Amino acid sequence: MDLGIAGKAAVVTGASSGIGRGIALALGAEGVRLALAARRRNLLEEVAGEIVANGGARPVVIECDFMQPEAPAAIAKAALDGLGAVDILVNNAGGSRRFELDASEEQWDEALTLNFTRQRQLTHRLLQQMMARKWGRIINITGKSEPEGINGAFCAKAAMHSWAKGLSREVGKHGVTVNSIPPGRILSEQILRNYTPEYRQWQSEHEIPVGEYGRPEDIAALACFLASPLARYITGTVIPVDGGLRRYQF
């Protein structure tokens, strides 16, 4: 299927590993010009090299700490300077933050900043130039909405879903769509660090209907479709990619 996104320009945050890396590689394979942002420059350079080796244009590499207040402005400027325009934004940077009952204000601020505020700020830095050209795609990699306990990231992702839905209603008439993808258990650096092989095997057998953890390319396939003109009538949605793990109906 020709997705019709060759030559478009995209920013992918958290692109150095895991889901972000998978999305960057998939977009590069579709002929999308890329700006890749993350903290670890050496890993970004590896991703960029792989994209070039597969026939893609060399990405703009943006080393930045997403927690820093200047990060959204720096990413937007570097992307626009390097690409000329940005058609597609993939807000992927973030991380889980499980809390105890006595979690500090600093912990809450960090979780909400990393998982919501910076994504919102970066989006609004790139939004006007999308609206001016009457075309844009904003894709948020979020998280599940049914926490087992207190987790700062879950609260932030719920805010992302609410903000994205509201934003979609404001910008749809300008040709810009806004969608969110909450992943299930996707094999990544974070998953391998947080869950033992024994637990992953047990969960695959007992809780995931398809019987295995997902791969970054499973998320990337949907992200590429949502980034395409074929998805022009899909906006304001939350589409899980989780192998059937979640039990809610809607």
In a domain, 36, yes or no: yes
Higher pLDDT: 60 or 193? It is: 60
Whole-model pTM over 0.85 = yes
User: Where does residue 55 rank: exposed (0-12), middle (13-18), buried (19+ CB within 10 A)?
Assistant: exposed
In a domain, 244, yes or no: no
- Average pLDDT over all residues of the chain: 94
In a domain, 67, yes or no: yes
Residues 13 and 37: beta-carbon distance below 8 Å: yes
Domain count for the chain, please give it: 1
In a domain, 135, yes or no: yes
Please give the residue range of the domain that contains residue 77: 9-231
In a domain, 69, yes or no: yes
In a domain, 222, yes or no: yes
pLDDT, tens digit, for every residue of 147-164? Answer: 778 888 889 999 999 999
In this prediction, residue 98 carries a pLDDT of 77
In a domain, 59, yes or no: yes
Q: Is 61 helix (H, G, I), strand (E, B) or coil?
A: strand
